[in-house]
Each structure stands twice: as structure tokens, then as C-alpha cells.
A and B are shown apart, each in its own frame.
Chain A
């Protein structure tokens, strides 16, 4: 329990406000550091770029980035989930000698698939010209590489290093892309961004090689996990699809733009939703803070006491503690993010004005804020369910999200502009209700599930040949 959790708890124990604030800031940075720097870099590119070149070049850059970002999440999702699981099992077994090999193997697998998919899409469908096509594919591959190496490094809770890597990387991005943009246009910015990503990968890789100093062997040892933990792999696809479903559907809306390079985009919707997500950063910070401290302690105590021969009365007491912890954290979220969303909704016009946006975005922003609120709550519940290893429940909730998001967004498109975003919000709400019901039912029977349903030793010898 080294790393940030420990630090957080130390800060948490100080009873004064500054201790608490310090802890929150610290965890805000830990979880959102990479995001903040990336956003800042993109913002810098947008501002400086406007002084150097025309809007169209910047716009194309953003579109390609959004495409790369969303598709890489969906395609690479299963691989990331399985690798994460395999790595955490290895850490638990205290045998991480396969880690470098697994990174190598996963990267090979990932890039192999992505080269085919991205290559086909950008060269056969999109009309980007050779330079831009190559740059787009490279950017795609590098984005996934950053995620992948990030998994190994975040397992070490070395958030300082990750933040620092992004700081260096994203600063270089701004510098290099602005140097290249005049001569090379969109490809210039894209490659500048890729350059920054490459630096991030290099720094993280270096750290990884230091922390896992083992030779590369058995690169594909994680493959059997796909069969055994298929729910996790499927979750990787379903959840990412679900998150992007409304945005992708919106790209087919009548008001969307169909560009010369044949890429579809609906910037009004996308940027509104982006702003809505930004408002969830404080809640994410609080989330990290809360689970790493209070919940994790109760969670560990529950299982440890069982192992240490507690009687059932003690087990029930710990169970009640966990439920209290979950309920306590949930209400904190509700209040914090709820207030932010409420404030956001009230001040939507001002926010849009501040960001030089289109007045048309106000309605969508309101829906977006509400949707994000429920989506973050659902994420919280999903993480908790993952702590309890309830993979089936997670998959169910994510599937509900996928189906409702797709369906309701389609309906909102049919219903007209005034309802854009409403589909997303309704879907997030329904998904949250589902998650809340499932979570309550599951946690209230935690001892039963611990001993019987999730108990691996209780199952008859299965396919667990891993």
C-alpha cells in the first residue's frame, strides 16, 4: 500500500482543513495530471496556432485527434483490460518477471491490429493525402502506446512521474507543432503532437524498465486470460463503445459536418460534451481520494479479518462498515458533483459566452452536465464492483449504457435539435439507476458472495488453467 494511497492517508489524518485541501489537490493532480497537461497543450496549440495559420488546419487536426482518441480506446480496450488484470494478478502473486515481456507482446498485438484497422480506414476511406495519412496512423499507434505503458507505470502508483512525463511531453508538443505548422500544416501539428507522445512513452518506458528489471520473455503469456476473463475483455469494448456511442451517432446528425476528407464531425456537440466532462475533474479527485483511503481500509479489513479467523459477528460488523463507507462516499459525490452540475446549468449561458461558444450550445451543455453527473456516479459504482471482482455485473451495466446511449441518442436526433444531448443524459440516468440497484443488492449480500459466488475455490475445477 505504498505510493499515493499512503501519502494521501497521511495527509488525511491531519485534522485541519489545509491537510484535507492538500490531500484533495494532491489527488486531483494524481488522477488528472495527464489530462490537464494534454488539455492545456491543446489549448495552447489552438491559441498560438490561430496566430500562425488558418482555422481549417487547426480544425482538421482536432478532428483527426478525436477520431484517433475514440477509436484507440475502443479497439485497444480489451487488450488494456486484460493486461491490467494480468499485471495485477502478477503483482498479487509477487511475480512480475513476465511484465516486460507482456508489454512487448501486448504492444506487438496492439500495433498489429491497429496498423490494419487505422491503415485501412485512413488510406481507403478518408481522403487525407499521403503525408497526413501516415501522420494520422502514427499518431494513432502512439496514443495507444501511451495508454499501454501507462498501465504498467500506474501500477506502481508513481503518479509524480507520470505527471512529469506529460509535462515534458506536452510542452514539447506545443513547441514542435508550432514550429512545424507553417510549413507542414495539419501534418505538422499532428506530428508535433506525436513527438510529444513519443517523449511521454520514452520517459514512461524508461521508468518501467527500471522498475521491472527483467528480460523480455514469454511475450504472449497473457493470452489465455482472454478466454478465462472474457467478461473483462468484453467490458473493455462495451464500455468504451458506450461512452462514445452518443458522440459517434451525433456525427450523423443533419447538422453535422461532412468534410472534404470525408471525416464526419459535429464540433458543437463534441466540444460541449468536453466542457461537461471537464467539470467532473474535482469529483474524480474526490473519488480517488475516497477509495484510496476510507473504502480501501474497510475493504482490506473485511477480507483480512476473515482470513484471520474472525467470527461471523465481526464479519457482519465489517460488512456494515463497508456499506456505510460506500454510502458515505456516494453521498459526498452526489453533493459535490451535483452542486457543480447545478451551478453549471444555472450559469450555462455565461460559460458559453466565456468560451466564445455558440449560443446553440447552451441547451446541450445543460444536458451534458446532467449526463456527466450520472456517468461519473456510475463509474464510481463500476469501480467498486470491480474491487469485488463482480465482472458480470459490470458487463451488464456497461451493456445497458451502450444500448440506451445508442438508442436514445438516435431518438434525440430524430426529435430535433432542441433534444440533442437529451438522449445522452437519459441514458446516463437509466444506467446509473441500474448500477445503483445492482450495487445495493450485491453489497447487502457481500458475505454470501464472498464465500460462495465469487469464491474460486468453491467452483469445481474449471477452465482456470492460467
Chain B
């Protein structure tokens, strides 16, 4: 980047997603940038060390900068003089020690300040590979968990602190506001941006990063844990272990992110519980759900057709297609002329797709259930009565909204935002009523019963159809989503800078931090 680059309006901080990975969050980000054509965007894409960096999206023209940061890959850097090294490591040890347990944003500022005088010269050589770094590692090991496997501690330390240092030493593009799309390392970078530039910060969470990490860490078998699969981080009833270190570290990164941000957005209320648990200030929380363009769906003519249900989604285990297939079998016993669709691509997990087809044959549903592959769902909406969603995990499946706009109710499992979309959120006053049904996971019988009720009780069906349609129109419009972000962005860009707490040893504002 040229030293005199103008700051972009918004700098997006992305981890493991846009523009190198295609998926839900990536697509969302792409839309976001295109929605705000009048603003300039700078992108910082955090990728893991081995991930490929081939662009899978054409960057819109208002993206003025793309920076890629490989986590845990630090530049080599120099070795400092003995005196400097001593000062640095004394300060670092104090600061890092705080980071290992419950930390506040000030503690992060402490680390940044410790590194500041030598920012441009530090790298792997001094911070990870030097004898002084080794001593630091030994100190922390001996004072926190001296009985742990040293080999595991060594690699954890390098992973965690390698990540921390690579985030703290990377170039930070100048911008008027910073927007992270998850907590984790992106959130850490957000906190750093706030501390170093004083500019306002925003975070949008689709899934909850720390939650996903907790599950991963708890089930990781490389971490030697005699207590087994234990999600609770009870600091007192057993010795502190490596899993605690990892979980606490990511918890801290979330916490920093929440403290630094002025606004914390998520897609649905259910997520907010987790955010509060990780220390998010209630006053900063917003829900900005994803919306759809209602008009695309509400004029769909209904054509006469046999009773029809459909599952719209990819044929993958997380969508639990098999429960759907079994539910169809149960339903068929009460509705002999039932028609069922499985609408979505089957190429992501061919083995699973084969198992599903085998199940269909085994239950003799070939005449009832059809795999359509990827299709234009609007063409099918004229002939579908109810949508089924049997997923084990979801964020905010748009298919419920799209079908709902066409007046089609949904029976879904109680995951993610499904309950809010179908039954209404807690903030919905007056409650518009049920737009379908919410059932427990993995139960073909529950799905079948809910579908049966909708297909055989016309008044009940009409009530649900109206309710979901009204709800989508009122609370899930795309233009509302656009406006909400536009307003937020406007606010942030106009806001006054706060005093930078820890700059890179140079003058703030226009000058590029090294």
C-alpha cells in the first residue's frame, strides 16, 4: 500500500470466508459491499496458513484494497539488542500472563504497548524462536500448568501466540470505520484497530465463533484431557489444562471485540444469549436479520396439485435428510397421494446422497419422493403446500422467508433462527401467530405430525399461511436490512475518533503504521 493512501470508508475484517471461500457468509458479504455502492471498502482477509488464496468472487469496483493475512505466519524479523530484548520480554510476560486468564481490553492494550517501540522490526525470530521467548514460554508453563504434556503446551503456545502476534504486527489499512464479520481473530484485529486508531467498530456475528470453537476444543483428542468431553470451564474443580487455555483465549478475544465495538449485531435473538455470556454489553446488541425481496415471491399463482411437501437444501448430513425421508414415509400412511420433493444439489457429499437414495428405495418411496437437484424454487412454489426443514444446525435459513413470502408455512427443527422466524421473536408485539411449527431434532414422527396437521386442517393452514406472510413482509424485508446497515455505517463514519490508546510508535491518523 502506498504510504499516503486515503482511508477507505469501511474496512471489513473477514476470517476464513470472503473472497476466498464460497458460502453463506461470503455471499452475504458480497451483497453487503454491492448494496453500498457509494462507500469504499478495504478488505482484510484472514486465512489459515495452508488455505489456498484463489479468488472465488469478482470484487466489486468499490473495493479499493484487499489484504490477505496468513494466521500464524510471522515474518522473520530481527533480533533486538540484549537490553531491548530484556525490556520487551519483561513487559510482554506481564501482559501475556493477563491474557491467559480473564482479560480486559486494557490488557490487550498492554501487549500492544509492549510491542510498540520495535513494531517494525519484530517477527518470528525474536518473538517465537529466540532463547528469550523460550524462557518466557517456560515461565508461563511452570506457573500455570507444570504437569501438562510439554510438547502439547509448546505447540499450543506457538499456535495461540503465533496467531496473536501475526494479528498485532500485521498492516492495518486506514479506514473511517471497521467492521468484523465474526469474533475470533477477526474480532481481535477489530479490537486492535479500535485501540490503535480510535475509530468506531462494528461486529456482525452469523454463527457464534466461540461456541463453535468450544465444541471443537472439547472434542479434540489431541488435547490430553482425563476428564473427557466436558464443555464447562470450571476453573476450580480440576487443574487448569490446555483445553482451558484455548477456550479462555478465544473467550478473551470475543470479549475484546465486544468491548471495542460500539455495535454488536447478529441475525437472530437466540445468538444474543451467547454474546451476553461472553461479556457483551446489552446496550450495544442489535438484531438485524437477513431479509428478502418480498415482491419476488408474493405474487405466485397457486396451481391445483396433490398434497405436496418439500425440503429445500443441500443433500448433506447436517440437513439430516434421512429424518425427512422417514417422516415422508410416516406421512404417506395418512395421505396416500402425498408428493414429496427433495430440492437441492447432491454433489457435495456423494456418499451421503447415495445413502439417502438407498433409504428411499428401502422404504419404497420412489413414487412419492423425488430428488430434483438444483432448481429455481420459485417455479415450484406454485405447487408446494408446506416446507420441511430437518437440519441439525442452522443460522437463518432464507428458504423459510422465501416460502413464507409466497404464503407457504414451514415445519422446522428448533435450531438457529427457525423458531423466531416461524413463531415470532420475543420483541414481536403483537405476536402475529405461528407461521408453521417448530419440532425437536431427529424425530421423523414429530415432523410427520406437524406436516399432517397443516395438510389436513384448512383453517389452521390458512392461519399459518397468513401469519408467516405478514411476518416476512413486516420484519424480514431486504430493504429494511439494507437501511439498517446503511444507517449504522453512516453513524460510524461520522462519529468522532476516540483517543488512540496504543499507536504503533508513530503519529496516528494519516501516517501508515508499519
Interface residues of A (CB under 8 A from B): 306-307, 309-313, 315, 445, 448, 451-453, 458, 460
Contacts and interface: CB of A to CB of B under 8 A. Distances in A.
Given A312-B142, A313-B146, A452-B129, A307 B151 contact: yes
Nearest to A448: B134
Given A306-B151, A451-B154, A460-B73, A311 B131 contact: no
A309 B224 contact: yes
B367 interface: no
Interface string B150-193: 11101000100000000000000000000000000000000000
B478 to A, nearest CB: 45
27 contacts: A307-B151, A309-B149, A309-B150, A309-B151, A309-B152, A309-B224, A310-B149, A311-B146, A311-B148, A311-B149, A312-B138, A312-B141, A312-B142, A312-B146, A312-B150, A313-B146, A315-B150, A448-B131, A448-B134, A451-B134, A452-B129, A452-B134, A453-B129, A458-B129, A458-B158, A460-B73, A460-B124
A313 B147 CA distance: 8
Nearest to B154: A451
A445 B158 CA distance: 19
Contacts of A307: 151
B240 to A, nearest CB: 14
A214 to B, nearest CB: 34
Contacts of B224: 309
Contacts of B129: 452-453, 458
Pick the 4 closest A-B CB pairs, nearest first. Answer: A309-B149, A312-B150, A448-B134, A311-B147
Contacts of B150: 306, 309-312, 315
Interface size class of B (residues with CB under 8 A): 20 to 34
A309 B131 CA distance: 22
Which of A315, A445, A451: most chain B CB closer than 10 A? A451
A212 B224 CA distance: 40
A268 B206 CA distance: 87
A447 B151 CA distance: 11
Contacts of A451: 134, 154
A176 B203 CA distance: 90
Given A311-B148, A452-B129, A453-B129, 10 more contacts: A309-B152, A311-B146, A312-B146, A312-B150, A313-B146, A445-B131, A451-B134, A452-B134, A458-B128, A458-B129
B141 to A, nearest CB: 6
B243 to A, nearest CB: 14
Contacts of A312: 138, 141-142, 146, 150
Contacts of A310: 149-151
Contacts of B154: 451
Contacts of A445: 131
Nearest to B147: A311
A325 to B, nearest CB: 21
A452 B158 CA distance: 11
Contacts of A453: 129
Nearest to B76: A460
A310 B146 CA distance: 10
Interface in B133-148: 134, 138, 141-142, 146-148
Contacts of B142: 312
A307 B151 CA distance: 7
A445 B128 CA distance: 16
A366 B229 CA distance: 72
Contacts of A315: 150
Contacts of A460: 73, 76, 124
Interface string B75-89: 010000000000000
Central interface residue in A312, A445, A451, by most chain B CB within 10 Å: A312
Contacts of B158: 458
A460 B151 CA distance: 19
A306 B149 CA distance: 8
B158 to A, nearest CB: 8
Interface string B110-145: 000000000000001000110100100010011000
Contacts of B147: 311
Contacts of B128: 458
A227 B131 CA distance: 29
Interface in B219-270: 224
A309 B134 CA distance: 18
Residue among B128, B134, B151, B158 having the largest count of chain A Cβ atoms under 10 Å: B151
Nearest to A445: B131
B279 to A, nearest CB: 33
A309 B221 CA distance: 13
Contacts of A309: 149-152, 224
Nearest to A451: B154
B130 to A, nearest CB: 8
A457 to B, nearest CB: 9
B77 to A, nearest CB: 12
B95 to A, nearest CB: 22
Interface string B291-305: 000000000000000
Nearest to B131: A448
Contacts of B76: 460
A117 to B, nearest CB: 41
Contacts of A311: 146-150
Contacts of B141: 312
A458 B154 CA distance: 11
B331 to A, nearest CB: 53
Contacts of B149: 309-311
A313 B149 CA distance: 10
A81 B146 CA distance: 41
A312 B142 CA distance: 8
A311 B224 CA distance: 12
A315 B150 CA distance: 8
A304 to B, nearest CB: 11
Interface-central residue, B73, B134, B142, B147, by most chain A CB under 10 Å: B134
A306 B151 CA distance: 6
A460 B149 CA distance: 24
A310 to B, nearest CB: 6
Nearest to B146: A311
Contacts of B131: 445, 448
Nearest to B141: A312
Nearest to B142: A312
A448 to B, nearest CB: 5
A317 to B, nearest CB: 12
B72 to A, nearest CB: 11
Nearest to B155: A457
A62 B124 CA distance: 57
B245 to A, nearest CB: 15
Nearest to B158: A458
A106 B152 CA distance: 41
Nearest to A314: B150
Nearest to A453: B129
A450 to B, nearest CB: 10
| Most interface-central of A306, A445, A448 (chain B CB within 10 A) | A448
A309 B226 CA distance: 13
A310 B152 CA distance: 10
A452 B76 CA distance: 14
B460 to A, nearest CB: 60
A307 B150 CA distance: 9
Contacts of A313: 146
Interface in B63-104: 73, 76
